[in-house]
Amino acid sequence: MPFWEYTDRNAGFNALFNDAMAEDSGMMNLVVGDCCGAVFRGVESLVDVGGGTGTFARIIVAAFPGIRCKVLELPQVIGRLASGRNSSGKLEFVEGDMFQCVPSAGAVLLRMILHDWKDEECVKILKKCKDAISSKGEGGKVIIIDIVMDEKKEVDHELVQTKLNFDMVMMFMLNGKERTEKEWERLFLEAGFQRYKITHLFGFRSLIEVFP
């Protein structure tokens, strides 16, 4: 049974998976701090695609009060939440499917999402994200937090091994993969984007800004 189908059918595992992702999101306060805070400055509206229970979205809203954030998630995830909006009104949960439609926003965030999927599925997701930022008429951008494979340039053997391990896990569990910069570039071009910028984060993650 495919992984995502299993999570849909097994409420207990679904809850465990989302709790684990929330714990990982808690580390992302480093991203909105000294590391890459400038990436979010000037953004007025943002959609966190597949943002789970909203842990990272709450970090963003707290760090940047001017940002209104929507978390796009499946109904079974949002159904576990006590409320679809936070007390400040700056955070909202929206039920939906990223393969069908992404709400319009100045920026769209994909955090550890695309490595779950095959290339053709990634292109579909990216095209929906491009539609979302283009509909605002402000240019916009897609912000991707994911792994960039570059074992030939890496000097940290343990870091290389961690990335390769993730690649194996994605392949066997989800039929996905980790990608090199060239592989990322091909996806962006096929989805209709013009340019991108990669910034290395802590550990094995990188942040990629993609522009139409």
Active-site positions read 115
SS3 (DSSP) at 102: coil
Instruction: Name the one residue in this structure whose structure tokens are 């930022």.
Output: 133
Beta strands in 53-129 (DSSP E): 68-73, 91-95, 107-111
Phi, psi of 18 (to 5 degrees): -70, -35
Distance between CA atoms of 54 and 58, rounded to whole angstroms? 6
* Other Cβ atoms within 10 Å of 28 Cβ, number: 22
Beta strands in 1-147 (DSSP E): 45-49, 68-73, 91-95, 107-111, 141-146
